Structure 1
């Protein structure tokens, strides 16, 4: 899943940039991301591809988890479960990540995605593993 090395610095990485995702708010307690729907993000039925929602859910959770963990370690995603609740073909979407559990070895984050009318579009949970820096050198 996601290696949060760029997220450690408060960045999202080139894939999220290609999606058009912008950081609205970013702390170790909450991350808010926003992006505009465009045809390049559609699946064949001209609605946002589910993979876009999964990617944004993972990006929001990874950024938040990395900010909370700071220099103590890095985080990598180990599970992403995202439910798609409403089809979207245009407008602005906002994803908000909040912690469910932040432990010594793992973190669990909830991410809600809403449309520009505040309606639920998708909801995801991401479990991340906290890896001390010496584990990454192997």
Structure 2
């Protein structure tokens, strides 16, 4: 079994959440994209991602990178909402790109729109270091119930 402790620390995951993520870490793509978590709750999740290393051929942040940040934040928030009763599965994501960025740090702020028993929907706003909106995304996750062991087992 892989020890993800350093990966979790590097991504900004507080030690109190390490046990929940100890089996999976934060995921290879999150590491490759350089995503760091600043706030973590089902209602609000904030993370950053560098532009450097995540650009397209024109030298600006790749549109798919916006979506990776949005899906990461929205799915982690949905996972916190589900807790041990379920696993979030992204079923829909869409984004509008408002402005390009060629350098610096992007901040994604994920806010819950709906936290239900089987569905969550979050809006994720990506901004530059001056607070200008770069893109707006919406992600919906299905909460798939996980099998719970019987009390008598």
In the superposition, the TM-score normalised over structure 1's length comes to: 0.87
Preserved contact between residue 49 and residue 69 of structure 2 (Cα < 8 Å): no
Work out whether 1:20 is the aligned partner of 2:34: yes
Tell me which of the two structures has the higher relative contact order, counting C-alpha pairs closer than 8 angstroms and 6 or more residues apart: 1
| Higher gyration radius (CA) | 2
Deviations 1:66-109 (A, max 9, x none): 11111111101000101111100001110011110111211111
- Give the paired residue count: 127
Q: Point out where structure 1 has 5 or more consecutive residues left out of the alignment.
A: 1-5
- Tell me, in whole angstroms, the C-alpha distance in 1 between the residues paired with 2:99 and 2:28: 27
Structure 1 residue 43, shift from structure 2 partner: 0.9
Matching residue of 1:69? 82
In the superposition, the TM-score normalised over structure 2's length comes to: 0.79
- Tell me, in whole angstroms, the C-alpha distance in 2 between the residues paired with 1:67 and 1:112: 19
Deviations 1:42-81 (A, max 9, x none): 1111101000001110000000111111111110100010
Q: Point out where structure 2 has 5 or more consecutive residues left out of the alignment.
A: 1-17, 148-153
The runs of at least 4 aligned residues of structure 1 exceeding 2 Å deviation read 8-12
- Out of 45, 62, 78, which is 1:31 matched to? 45
- Tell me, in whole angstroms, the C-alpha distance in 1 between the residues paired with 2:45 and 2:116: 18
